[in-house]
């Protein structure tokens, strides 16, 4: 098999876009997630800047762990979500209906700021068990994955992560175990932009392909057609040859999950949620949220023309491109 990949000198990473190759590399034992926690420890020592909140966050995010640490962290995250799923799923329709009611109002409507962003935040706060009022100020916590940020932006992100950690402690109590705090913090960080991006990207594609039609006339697909996480990033820990490419230890590899969006079947397209031990734990709830929106749109959107929606949406839409595996 030929690995359709190339080395991008701008990002200094191998780019892999072929779906079958991406599927193989997602779970390869020769690759590991980026070393965020270690990198921030080194950055803290180099510049004498406190990044302890970021180190704490990365030390508890399952998708940033490797080997046994990953398995243990993922198991705890899976058990946490399973315990809350019934409560969360019961509230999905009510939350969707309340936010989608904005379609019935007269005047200009911006989908991202008026509907998708506040609705996503309410879902994520519900999953993480966080008071939504205080969490509304924390709009950029997922920027922790942005490797292009300067020191000032990283310090601002550090402050937001520290505030989120304190907010969770205030909800759980001062004697809350660190692992419990870290787990809820991880769900807040991991869920916000991927869910917002998936909903926004999917609706944008649907609206664009149905421009001129009324929203209530559109046939919305059962499965979301796009992902909010276009790629994941890995580090090579054991060199290997695949096709005509040689990956050396320390090389960075970007596996483009976006490639699965072009697959014909929902089963194949679902790989943009990851696969195997690196599949997104929130996939079932994300798909359930999408299905509720799909059923609710014809009732909530009334006769609003799609092209008016599309214009407002394109102006606002700018999801953070996170590599959150």
Tokens of residue 164, six digits: 């989120």
Per residue in 261-308, pLDDT (tens digit) is: 888 888 888 888 988 778 888 899 999 999 999 888 766 555 555 544
What residues contact residue 92 under an 8 Å CB cut-off, 6+ apart?
Answer: 123, 285, 288, 289, 292
Contact by Cβ (8 Å): 11, 2: no
In a domain, 44, yes or no: yes
Per residue in 222-232, pLDDT (tens digit) is: 999 998 888 88
Q: Using alpha carbons only, how large is the chain's radius of gyration in Å?
A: 20
In a domain, 185, yes or no: yes
- How far apart, in Å, are the Cα atoms of 151 and each of 44, 59, 90, 237? 10, 20, 42, 28
Q: For position 166, which CATH number holds?
A: 1.10.630.10
- How far apart, in Å, are the Cα atoms of 300 and each of 47, 210, 215? 52, 17, 9
In a domain, 325, yes or no: no
Asked whether the predicted pLDDT for residue 311 surpasses 90, the reply is no
Per residue in 133-171, pLDDT (tens digit) is: 877 778 778 778 887 788 999 999 999 999 999 999 999
Closest to 126 (Cα-Cα) out of 195, 44, 47: 195
The pairing of beta strand 31-33 with beta strand 232-236: antiparallel
What residues contact residue 146 under an 8 Å CB cut-off, 6+ apart?
Answer: 153, 320
Closest to 292 (Cα-Cα) out of 81, 85, 88, 95: 95
pTM for the model stands at 0.85
Contact by Cβ (8 Å): 3, 242: yes
Q: What is the pLDDT of residue 3?
A: 52
In a domain, 322, yes or no: no
Contact by Cβ (8 Å): 307, 299: no
Closest to 281 (Cα-Cα) out of 177, 69, 126, 127: 127
Q: What is the pLDDT of residue 305?
A: 57
The SS3 assignment for 253 reads strand
Closest to 280 (Cα-Cα) out of 224, 222, 207: 224
Cα–Cα distance measured from residue 30 to residue 4, given in angstroms and rounded to the nearest whole number: 18
- How far apart, in Å, are the Cα atoms of 233 and each of 13, 31, 146, 228, 255? 9, 9, 12, 15, 6
In a domain, 324, yes or no: no
| pLDDT band per the 50, 70, 90 thresholds, residue 2 | very low
Tokens of residue 201, six digits: 């990207």
Q: What is the extent of the structural domain holding 28? A: 5-316
Tokens of residue 27, six digits: 């779970």
* Domains of the chain: total: 1
In a domain, 321, yes or no: no
| pLDDT band per the 50, 70, 90 thresholds, residue 47 | very high
Tokens of residue 92, six digits: 């999905």
In a domain, 311, yes or no: yes
In a domain, 323, yes or no: no
């Amino acid at each position: 098999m030929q690995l359709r990949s190339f080395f991008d000198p701008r990002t200094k990473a191998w780019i892999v876009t072929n779906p079958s190759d991406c599927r193989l590399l997602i779970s390869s034992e020769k690759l590991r997630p980026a070393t965020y926690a270690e990198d921030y420890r080194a950055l803290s020592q180099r510049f004498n800047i406190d990044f302890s909140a970021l180190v704490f966050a990365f030390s508890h995010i399952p998708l940033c762990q490797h080997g046994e640490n990953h398995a243990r962290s993922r198991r705890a995250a899976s058990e946490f979500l399973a315990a809350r799923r019934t409560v969360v799923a019961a509230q999905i329709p009510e939350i969707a209906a309340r936010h989608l009611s904005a379609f019935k109002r007269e005047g200009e409507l911006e989908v991202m700021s008026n509907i998708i962003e506040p609705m996503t935040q309410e879902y994520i706060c519900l999953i993480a068990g966080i008071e939504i009022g205080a969490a509304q100020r924390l709009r950029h916590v997922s920027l922790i994955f942005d490797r292009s940020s300067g020191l000032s932006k990283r310090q601002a992100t550090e402050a937001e992560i520290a505030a989120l950690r304190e907010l969770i402690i205030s909800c759980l109590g001062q004697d809350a175990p660190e692992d419990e705090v870290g787990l809820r913090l991880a769900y807040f960080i991991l869920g916000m932009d991927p869910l917002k991006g998936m909903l926004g990207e999917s609706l944008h594609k649907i609206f664009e392909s149905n421009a001129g039609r009324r929203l209530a006339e559109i046939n919305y697909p059962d499965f979301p057609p796009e992902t909010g996480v276009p790629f994941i990033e890995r580090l090579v820990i054991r060199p290997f040859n695949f096709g005509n490419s040689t990956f050396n230890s320390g090389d960075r590899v970007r596996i483009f999950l976006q490639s699965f969006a072009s697959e014909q079947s929902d089963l194949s397209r679902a790989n943009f949620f990851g696969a195997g031990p690196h599949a997104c734990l929130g996939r079932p709830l994300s798909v359930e949220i999408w299905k509720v929106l799909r059923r609710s749109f014809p009732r909530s959107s009334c006769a609003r023309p799609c092209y008016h929606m599309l214009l407002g949406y394109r102006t606002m839409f700018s999801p953070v491109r996170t590599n959150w595996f």
